[in-house]
Amino acid sequence: MTASTKRSVLGVGIDAVTPSEALGRVIGAAKEGRTYRVSALAVHGVMEAHDDPALLHRVNDLEMVTPDGQPVRWALNLLYRCNLKERVYGPRLMLDVCREAARENLPVYLLGTTNEILADLRVGLAHRFPDLRVAGMRPSAFRRVSREELTRICDEIRVSGAKIVFVGLGCPRQEIFAYEAGPLLAMPTIAVGAAFEYHAGHRNEPPMWIQKWGLQWLHRLLSDPRRLWRRYATTNPRFLIGLIRQRLGGHEQTPDPTEPRFVGWA
């Protein structure tokens, strides 16, 4: 039996994996036709789960949660000496999975955002990976859906012939979808956040030096300060303080995971 790679960062189980290990797990599950729910979490996602017992249950139930943000990778290295050289960045993971899916003839499905972005994303992926087959696409409903609607969406995905689903609904809606829809889908369900907009050409990724130094949050803040200033003014300091407490062996106030009720985001 493979040893667990999950490590607690403020109560949130993050997998201490490399990009190649994460890719191998996803492709392996796709080939086997096995449910495998994945999320790539940065600091904001970690703190959302830390503060919400129901979300914490959902995130900790996923098969793999990767260190999307550099500060999350640094936290794993600081707390557990994981010696991770790279983060497992959601947009990069999406491209890596698409590359291997094209080679292995594993069709993918795109769920989330708008029809316009999905159309441009499909073009962008076709340009990068001519052999990749997009089995289907569905825009976000931008609302909660019933159990029956969620079941119909999952039926549509299965009938399409897809072997991998990418979900771009934003955190935490995409994690909720992965948790609730995953058991209905015998395939990897991967929450990749802003990757859809990046790869569709609707949003520019931060320069590499900003990504390397863990300043992606600052890049986003400067691009939309009125909406995001409150999030980063509170979230980042709380993450840092909590990390220091955990490192020193102090008690970090993390809610006990709570069995969540059905929410239904799509």
Measured at the CA of 120, the angle between CA 180 and CA 99, to 5 degrees, comes to 70
Condensed to tens digits (0 to 9), the pLDDT of residues 1-54 reads: 457 999 999 999 999 999 999 999 999 999 999 999 999 999 999 999 999 999
**What pLDDT, on the 0 to 100 scale, is given for residue 198?**
94
Query: Average pLDDT, stretch 146-165?
Result: 97
Q: Which residue bears the tokens 């859906």? A: 145
101 in Cβ contact with 132 (< 8 Å): yes
Condensed to tens digits (0 to 9), the pLDDT of residues 53-64 reads: 999 999 999 999
172: cis peptide before it, omega within 30°? Answer: yes
Q: How far apart are CA 239 and CA 75, in angstroms?
A: 10
Could you give all domains of the chain from N- to C-terminal order, each with its CATH number?
A: 12-193 (3.40.50)
Nearest to 173 by CA among 71, 66, 52: 52
At 76, the pLDDT band (50, 70, 90 cuts) reads very high
Q: Does 266 have pLDDT greater than 90? A: no
At 227, the pLDDT band (50, 70, 90 cuts) reads low
Please name the amino acid found at residue 170: G
Q: Does 243 have pLDDT greater than 70? A: yes
Condensed to tens digits (0 to 9), the pLDDT of residues 100-155 reads: 999 999 999 999 999 999 999 999 999 999 999 999 999 999 999 999 999 999 99
**What pLDDT, on the 0 to 100 scale, is given for residue 30?**
98
**What pLDDT, on the 0 to 100 scale, is given for residue 41?**
96
Q: Which residue bears the tokens 């919400």? A: 52
- List 204's β-bridge partners, or say none: none
Strand 6-9 relative to strand 12-15, pairing: antiparallel
**What pLDDT, on the 0 to 100 scale, is given for residue 259?**
82
Measured at the CA of 13, the angle between CA 12 and CA 14, to 5 degrees, comes to 110
At 236, the pLDDT band (50, 70, 90 cuts) reads confident
**What pLDDT, on the 0 to 100 scale, is given for residue 91?**
95
Q: Mean of the per-residue pLDDT values for the chain?
A: 90
Condensed to tens digits (0 to 9), the pLDDT of residues 80-103 reads: 999 999 999 999 999 999 999 999
**What pLDDT, on the 0 to 100 scale, is given for residue 181?**
96
**What pLDDT, on the 0 to 100 scale, is given for residue 224?**
56
Q: Does 187 have pLDDT greater than 80? A: yes
Q: What is the percent of the chain with per-residue pLDDT over 90, rounded to a whole number?
A: 77
Q: How many CB atoms lie within 10 A of CB 28?
A: 12
Alpha helices in 9-163 (DSSP H): 19-32, 43-51, 53-61, 70-80, 90-104, 115-128, 147-159
Tokens standing for residue 82: 């994981």
Cα-to-chain-centroid distance, residue 21? 16
Q: How many CA atoms, within 13 angstroms, populate the side-chain half-sphere of residue 139?
A: 11
**What pLDDT, on the 0 to 100 scale, is given for residue 206?**
58
**What pLDDT, on the 0 to 100 scale, is given for residue 205?**
64
The CA distances from residue 109 to 20, 32, 72, 139, 189, in Å, are: 22, 17, 28, 11, 9
**What pLDDT, on the 0 to 100 scale, is given for residue 1?**
44
- List 229's β-bridge partners, or say none: none
Query: Average pLDDT, stretch 62-67?
Result: 98
Please name the amino acid found at residue 171: C
- DSSP-derived secondary structure letter, 3: P
Q: How far apart are CA 225 and CA 133, in angstroms?
A: 38
Measured at the CA of 207, the angle between CA 206 and CA 208, to 5 degrees, comes to 115
Nearest to 27 by CA among 84, 93, 100: 100
